[in-house]
Amino acid sequence: MPPLPPENALELRGLTKVYAGGKKALDNVSLDVPRGMIFGLLGPNGAGKSTLINILAGLVNKTAGSAKVWGIDIDVDARAARGAIGIVPQEINFDPFFTPRELLELQAGLYGVPPAERRTAEILAAVGLADKANAYARSLSGGMRRRVLVAKALVHTPPVLILDEPTAGVDIELRQSLWAYVRQLNAKGTTVILTTHYLQEAEELCDRIAIINHGKLVADDSKDALLARVDAKEMRITIDCDLTEVPASLIPFGAKLEASRLLVVPYRPSATKASDILGAVAQSGVGIADLSTRESDLEDVFLQLVRQAA
């Protein structure tokens, strides 16, 4: 009987990387990526995302900590751990004088996939490269080269697929078809980890999102929980008289007096109606001279977390 699949596709404990020269790119990162998810690893440029991925890929040596891929410790069996993941790197890294078919066959050979078990044609068709199978890679567009990278990552049918900024500089059409394909793989059981600095992309695709900044993990939550944090607006009410304290009717709303004529009322649109706040203002007897609302989004939460960690 095959062993049960692990609960977590990825388990990182205290992962730290200090590059030669002293740059600490990862600082004590502990993180679980549950099996079966589309997991987003978010962070601004330079946050340490590629460093993390490259440690798993065996391209960067970690300084401290441990990492398990599909239950396999990279220090115990680096080869088996690498076999459990397919990595789509951030940079195009293949020889432009090979064809997609040759590149996939070479990759399959590297991973010890016997010729009879290779799925070259199937994978090329799945990423929309069937008609380019025999074209020199140098003749392919940037988007098509990226598809080749995705195809290469899949030759050994890994249970975990990691995409490092796969849509940076990629046109919308490819983005859509790439995501459709990633969703399809995920629906069939592949755990997908995707790094990006596009929040919208993560919001659209991911079940769970971790955020790193300056090498530190600053959030790790379900998308819904992160978005619940985003369920926050602010009503800014300029009033027509000077106050020294928040009117009693607005205290239950957690209103603050930011200036003698400026009331700021935070609220969750899902729980509080703007009209309830306005009703409370009317009840207090002060007149409204001006009014605006401010909406937060994932961007705000992100900036807030990133600022806290700085």
State the greatest distance between any 2 C-alpha atoms of the chain, in Å, as a whole number: 82
Binder of residue 68, out of Mg ion, ligand ADP, none (CB less than 5 to 8 A by kind): none
Binder of residue 284, out of Mg ion, ligand ADP, none (CB less than 5 to 8 A by kind): none
- The answer to the question of residue 196 lying near ligand ADP (CB under 6 A) is no
Smallest distance, Å, CB 54 to ligand ADP? 7
Binder of residue 115, out of Mg ion, ligand ADP, none (CB less than 5 to 8 A by kind): none
**Which residue pairs, CB below 8 angstroms and at least 24 apart, start in 15-20?**
15/52, 15/55, 15/62, 15/64, 15/65, 15/66, 15/67, 16/62, 16/63, 16/64, 16/65, 17/48, 17/51, 17/55, 17/60, 17/62, 17/63, 17/215, 18/63
* Residue placing its CB nearer to ligand ADP in the complex, 19 or 176: 19
- The answer to the question of residue 50 lying near ligand ADP (CB under 6 A) is yes
- The answer to the question of residue 219 lying near ligand ADP (CB under 6 A) is no
Considering only residues 4 through 43, tell me which ones interact with ligand ADP, judged by CB under 6 A.
19, 21, 23, 25, 43
* Interface with ligand ADP (CB under 6 A), residue from 3, 4, 45, 245: 45
* Interface with Mg ion (CB under 5 A), residue from 39, 41, 50, 302: 50
* Interface with ligand ADP (CB under 6 A), residue from 6, 40, 48, 159: 48
Neighbouring residues of 165: CB distance < 8 A, sequence distance ≥ 6:
49, 50, 90, 195, 196, 197
Smallest distance, Å, CB 51 to ligand ADP? 3
Per-residue binder mask for Mg ion (CB under 5 A), 30-49, x = binder: -------------------x
Query: Residue 77 has which token pair?
Result: 């069996």
Q: In terms of DSSP bridges, do strands 216-222 and 72-73 run parallel, antiparallel, or are they unpaired?
A: unpaired
If phi > 0 it is left, if psi is from -120 to 50 it is alpha, else beta; for residue 191 that is beta
Residues that bind Mg ion (CB under 5 A): 49-50, 90
